[in-house]
Amino acid sequence: MRRDITRIFLKPLWRLALCCWLLSACLQAQALPFEDSMAQRTLACTACHGPQGRSGPDGYYPRLAGKPAGYLYNQLVNLQQGRRNYPLMQSLLAPLDDAYLRALADYFAALEIPYPPPAPPSADKAVLARGLQLVRRGDLDLQIPACVQCHGTALTGTQPSVPGLLGLPRDYLNAQLGSWQNGQRQAQTPDCMADIAKRLSDADVHALSTWLSSQTVPLVSRATAQKPPLPPGAKEIRCGSAPW
Ligand code: HEC
Ligand code: HEC
C-alpha cells in the first residue's frame, strides 16, 4: 500500500521534473547567441582544408594555417581570377569582395597549429643530395637559383608573400611545380616561379619534392621578416607576387 502511494505521487513528480529539465534545456539553447566568428564562417573552407586549415589527411588539400597572409591573399585572388584552377573552390570565392579575401587570409595566417612529422625519405642518397644542392645552392649551369634565396635560409618563407617550403607533402610539391611547368598555375607577372619550374627536369622536381618533404619543420615556423642577402654571384630575380 505504501509503495502504491509513493508511486502515485512520485510518477507525476518525475514527469514534472523531466518537463522542467527539457524546458530549461530548450530555453538555454535558445539563449545561446549565434556565434558569428571567422571559425564559424570558414567551416566551408575547413571541410576541405582540415580543421583550422591544418590540411587534409592526404595532402591534396593544402595547409592554410600559419602561411604568410600576403601569400594566402594572393592565392585567393589568383583562384578568383583564374590564374590557379580549382572550380569547387572558385565558385565559393566568386561572390567574395577584396576586403573579405583579406580577412580570410589574415585569419588563417594567424593560426598557430603544429606541423605533423615529415615523411621518412624514401629515395636513395643521390636523389636527396641533388635536392639539397638545388635548395641550398641552385644550379648555375641550368640557371636554377637556390630556393633559399627567396624562401629564406630556414625555408619557412619570407614576409609578406613568399611561402615556406617545409611541411608540404611531396605530392603537393610535385603538383604545384608541375602546374607551373604546364601553365595551369600562374602568379602575377613577372612569374618567377614559372621560369624556375620550367628549368627543372622531372628528375630535379622529384629530387626537390623528396628532399623538402622529408625535412622537419623548425619550431619557429613563421616566415622571416626579410629576404636573406643574395648569395655571392647570384643575380636578383624579380617576382610580381613578392615586390621586394
Ligand atoms: C572543395 C574543396 C575546397 C574548398 C571548399 C575550399 N578549398 Fe581552398 N583549395 C582546395 C584545393 C584542392 C586547393 C589546391 C588547388 C591547386 O592545387 O592549385 C586549394 C587551394 C587554396 C589556397 C592556396 C593554398 C596555397 O598554399 O597555395 C587557399 C589560400 C585556399 N584554398 C583557401 C580557401 C578558403 C579561404 C576557402 C573557403 C572560402 C577554401 N579554400 C575552400 C580545395 C578547397
Ligand atoms: C626569386 C625568388 C624565388 C626563388 C629563387 C624560388 N622561389 Fe618558389 N616562390 C616564390 C614566390 C614569390 C612564390 C609565391 C608565388 C605565388 O604567389 O603563387 C613561390 C612559391 C613556391 C611554391 C608554392 C608553395 C605552395 O604552398 O603552394 C613552391 C612549391 C616553390 N615556390 C618552390 C620553389 C623551389 C623548389 C625553388 C628552388 C628551386 C624556389 N621555389 C625558388 C619565389 C621564389
Q: Considering every ligand atom shown, identify the ligand nearest to the alpha carbon of residue 174 and give its number.
A: 2
Q: Please work out whether the CB of residue 45 comes within 6 Å of at least one atom of ligand 1.
A: yes
Mean pLDDT of 196-225: 95
Give the pLDDT score at 70: 97
Structure letter (DSSP) for residue 172: H
Alpha-carbon distance 197 to 205, whole Å?
Answer: 8
Q: Please work out whether the CB of residue 92 comes within 6 Å of at least one atom of ligand 1.
A: yes
Alpha-carbon distance 241 to 76, whole Å?
Answer: 12
Give the pLDDT score at 8: 46
Q: Please work out whether the CB of residue 193 comes within 6 Å of at least one atom of ligand 2.
A: yes
**pLDDT greater than 90 at residue 241:** yes
Q: State the chain's mean pLDDT as an integer.
A: 86
Q: Please give the domain boundaries of the chain with CATH numbers for all domains.
A: 41-113 (1.10.760.10), 117-244 (1.10.760.10)
**pLDDT greater than 50 at residue 96:** yes
Give the pLDDT score at 58: 72
Calculate how far, in angstroms, residue 73's C-alpha sits from the geometric centre of ligand 2: 15
Give the pLDDT score at 37: 87
Minimal CA–CA distance to 161: which of 77, 88, 82?
77
Give the pLDDT score at 13: 41
Q: By alpha-carbon position, which residue is closest to atom 41 of ligand 2?
A: 147
Q: By alpha-carbon position, which residue is closest to atom 29 of ligand 2?
A: 173
Q: Please work out whether the CB of residue 241 comes within 6 Å of at least one atom of ligand 2.
A: yes
What pLDDT digit, counting tens, does each position of 148-173 carry? 999 999 999 999 999 999 999 899 99
Confidence of residue 29 (pLDDT cuts 50, 70, 90): very low
CA angle (155 as vertex; 154, 157 as ends), nearest 5:
110
**pLDDT greater than 80 at residue 174:** yes
Under 8 Å between Cβ of 66 and 114: no
What pLDDT digit, counting tens, does each position of 99-116 carry? 999 999 999 999 999 888
Between residues 77 and 2, which one has the greater pLDDT?
77
Alpha-carbon distance 220 to 204, whole Å?
Answer: 28
Task: Quote the cell numbers at residue 106.
Answer: 589574415
Give the pLDDT score at 17: 44
Mean pLDDT of 114-129: 86
Give the pLDDT score at 119: 75
Q: Please work out whether the CB of residue 77 comes within 6 Å of at least one atom of ligand 2.
A: no
Q: Which span out of 9-13, 101-105, 115-119 was modeled with the highest average pLDDT?
A: 101-105
**pTM assigned to the model:** 0.88
Helix (H) or strand (E) holding 198: helix 192-198
**pLDDT greater than 60 at residue 32:** no
Alpha-carbon distance 21 to 146, whole Å?
Answer: 66
Mean pLDDT of 224-242: 88
Mean pLDDT of 67-87: 96
